[in-house]
């Protein structure tokens, strides 16, 4: 290096040092002026450099923690203090599934189970087909090697419907809001995993499903034109303000081989816009028992200003964010049904008999597929319970099954999208408390002679309180995806907005280093405008400032 180059380098370093001293001497950031003050000792300047560096490091750590919290947990749910009457929300849909699967005079499962599984006994193809039909709603734990049918056609629906105990024999008395109702007009038949069930206060199939979804007979169809508003609402709390149904089962129809040792009725409580599934809250009503269930609604909505956050951050979908193929309204439950159907159709080439299907020609899974169906259901349950690593977890579980059935990366990727079933941003759930007692119906009605040949059960479902606690009382508005209006008792809000982040960060910067907006402006000034102005005032070579100062 030449002597001129060394001289120029020394001059540049000297000018930088001079400019740094001027900058630190004028800045409003506390402590920095002592570092650049050449009149102080090196020890003092070193101590202040350590102090300022430590403060900046600690402040940076806290700011990064705040930023991480802002990015990863920006939403929280609060509970309000105002009271909202329960008639401002819809009464839930109530689905009743008898544990008795068949009318013994039409088809008695115990008579056929031994013959069907005995290799030395020959039965006709029609009888074997009927047995495999009913095996789809009976105990599904029997080995699939005992069955022969891989696919069913739509006849399974006719068979299951025809062997089900007659509706008028099962439902003997219905009341809503203390008014007697015709049970056949307020309940509609539907297919669930339990077989034929009956649902009250659910949306009509024209509003629940997309137009191209295949419908069996009059299932999911309201029996009469309901008065507005619908779904129904409770006008009061307590046992007189809810739904009360008396149910009957006959001794001759009891079948402990098809179902389980738990006889009676399964009651599923769900939203009117949802298909009842195993994931919903349900309760059991034993035979000759009266069960009273007091409901507490848990309603959550989300403010529109959270639309700027991703669904994964706010942990919910707005109704326009995720469309479903078979349902008109998004909910986590409906999404899970579609996910289950997609996995079955693309892995097994068929659907379980109760799942919605857009094409009537889509095969129904036969009894030989029960083992694979159970595996897919376990995959879905495991996937949903591991929401921290959705895609990788689903891929791992799917591949265990796909390698035995089919291999498709596209299936894994699309399944991860379809099966990402976050809650709806506006949803309602129902928790309940139950009480139970013996039901001496035969004494009350004076029919002791019926005691030994039939059972009666009573279920009463009502709101526990006349009011519930909302987070915020707002003007009632129509939530499109639910097809009815809500007052909002709980609501997702921002944990940290942009202004909250700025205020929090500014507080930390001010606390540790006395930094403010003016301090930032000074730094920018010294790095840009002051250099330009110095060059203009003193010449380009004097960019570092007045040499006489």
At residue 213, the 3 state secondary structure works out as coil
DSSP string, 150-211: SEE-THHHHHHHHHSPPHHHHEEEEEETTEEE-HHHHEEEEEETTEEEEEESPPPHHHHB-T
Q: What is the pLDDT, as a whole number, of residue 88?
A: 86
b/e code 448-473 from CB counts within 10 Å (16+ = b): eeeeeebbbbbbbbbbbeeebebbbe
**pLDDT of amino acid 401:** 65
CA atoms within 13 A on the CB side of 432: 24
Alpha-carbon span 351 to 294, nearest angstrom: 36
Bridge partners (DSSP) of residue 181 are 174
Please check whether residue 69 is in contact with residue 308, taking contact to mean a CB–CB distance below 8 angstroms.
no
CB of 110 closer than 8 Å to CB of 278: no
Neighbours of 145 (CB within 10 A): 8
Residue in this structure with the two tokens 């265990």, named with its chain if needed: 400
- Tokens 């013996």 -> residue: 438
Which two structure tokens, joined as six digits, stand for 372?
A: 């694979």
**Helix (H), strand (E), coil (C) string for 476-508:** CEEEHHHCEEECCCEEEEECCCHHHHHHHHHHH
Q: For 494, list phi and psi in degrees, rounded to 5.
A: -70, 130
Enter the pTM of the model: 0.77
Question: Tens digits of per-residue pLDDT, 450-463?
Answer: 788 999 999 999 99
pLDDT at 380: 80
In terms of Cα–Cα distance, which of 152, 137, 144 is closest to 102? 137
pLDDT of 290 reads 97
pLDDT, one tens digit per residue, over 99-113 is 999 999 999 998 888
289-302 and 490-494 as β-strands: parallel, antiparallel, unpaired? parallel
Give pLDDT < 50 ranges for the chain: 388-390, 471-489
What was the pLDDT predicted at 98? 95
Q: How many alpha carbons fall within 13 Å on the CB side of residue 257?
A: 13
The pLDDT, as a whole number, for residue 541 is 75
Q: How far is CA 481 from CA 204, 221, 328, 498, in A?
A: 14, 19, 8, 30
Decide: residue 6, CB within 10 A, 0-12 exposed, 13-18 middle, 19+ buried.
exposed
Residues 6 or more apart whose CB falls under 8 angstroms from that of 351 comprise 341, 344, 345, 357, 362, 363, 364, 365
Residues 31-37: contacts with CB under 8 Å, at least 24 apart: 31/55, 31/513, 31/514
Task: Return d(Cα 152, Cα 355) in angstroms, integer.
Answer: 14
Peptide bond into 233 cis (omega under 30): no
């Amino acid at each position: 290096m030449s002597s001129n180059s060394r001289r120029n380098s020394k001059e540049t370093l000297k000018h930088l040092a001079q400019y740094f001293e001027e900058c630190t001497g004028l800045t409003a950031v506390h402590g920095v002026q002592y570092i650049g003050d050449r009149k102080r000792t090196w020890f003092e300047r070193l101590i202040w450099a350590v102090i300022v560096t430590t403060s900046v490091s600690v402040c940076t750590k806290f700011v990064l923690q705040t930023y991480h919290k802002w990015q990863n947990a920006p939403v929280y749910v609060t509970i309000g203090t105002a009271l909202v009457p329960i008639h401002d929300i819809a009464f839930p849909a109530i689905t009743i599934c008898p544990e008795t699967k068949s009318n013994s005079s039409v088809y008695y499962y115990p008579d056929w189970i031994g013959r069907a599984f005995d290799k030395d006994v020959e039965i006709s193809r029609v009888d074997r087909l009927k047995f495999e039909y009913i095996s789809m709603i009976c105990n599904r734990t029997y080995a699939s090697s005992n069955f022969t049918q891989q696919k069913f056609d739509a006849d399974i629906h006719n068979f299951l419907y025809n062997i089900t105990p007659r509706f008028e024999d099962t439902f003997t008395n219905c009341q809503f809001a203390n008014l007697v109702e015709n049970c056949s007009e307020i309940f509609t038949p539907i297919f669930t995993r339990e077989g034929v069930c009956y649902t009250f206060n659910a949306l009509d199939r024209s509003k629940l499903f997309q137009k191209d979804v295949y419908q069996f007979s009059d299932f999911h169809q309201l029996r009469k034109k309901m008065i507005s508003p619908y779904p129904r609402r409770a006008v009061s709390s307590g046992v007189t303000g809810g739904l009360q149904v008396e149910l009957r089962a006959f001794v001759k129809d009891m079948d402990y081989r098809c179902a389980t040792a738990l006889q009676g009725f399964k009651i599923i409580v769900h939203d009117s816009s949802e298909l009842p599934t195993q994931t919903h809250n349900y309760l059991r009503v034993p035979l000759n028992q009266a069960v009273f269930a007091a409901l507490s609604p848990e309603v959550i909505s989300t403010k529109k200003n959270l639309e700027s956050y991703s669904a994964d951050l706010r942990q919910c979908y707005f109704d326009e964010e995720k469309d479903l193929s078979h349902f008109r309204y998004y909910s986590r439950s409906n999404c899970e049904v579609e996910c289950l159907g997609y996995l079955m159709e693309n892995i097994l080439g068929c659907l379980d008999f109760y799942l919605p299907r857009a094409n009537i020609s889509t095969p129904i899974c036969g009894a030989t597929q029960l083992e694979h169906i159970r595996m897919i259901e376990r995959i879905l349950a495991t996937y949903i319970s591991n929401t921290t690593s959705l895609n990788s977890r689903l891929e791992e579980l799917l591949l265990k099954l796909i390698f035995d059935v089919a291999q498709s990366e596209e299936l894994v990727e699309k399944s991860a999208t379809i099966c990402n079933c976050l809650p709806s941003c506006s949803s309602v759930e129902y928790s309940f408390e139950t009480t139970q007692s013996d039901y001496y119906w035969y004494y009350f009605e004076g029919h002791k002679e019926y005691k030994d040949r039939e059972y009666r059960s009573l279920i009463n479902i009502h709101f526990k309180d006349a009011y519930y606690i909302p987070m915020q009382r707002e003007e009632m508005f129509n939530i499109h995806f639910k097809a009815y209006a809500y007052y909002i008792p709980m609501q997702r809000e921002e944990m940290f907005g942009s202004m909250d982040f700025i205020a929090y960060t500014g507080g930390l910067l001010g606390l540790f280093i006395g930094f403010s907006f003016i301090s930032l402006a000074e730094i920018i000034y010294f790095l840009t405008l002051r250099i330009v102005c110095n060059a203009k005032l003193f010449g380009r070579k004097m960019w570092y400032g007045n040499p006489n100062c």
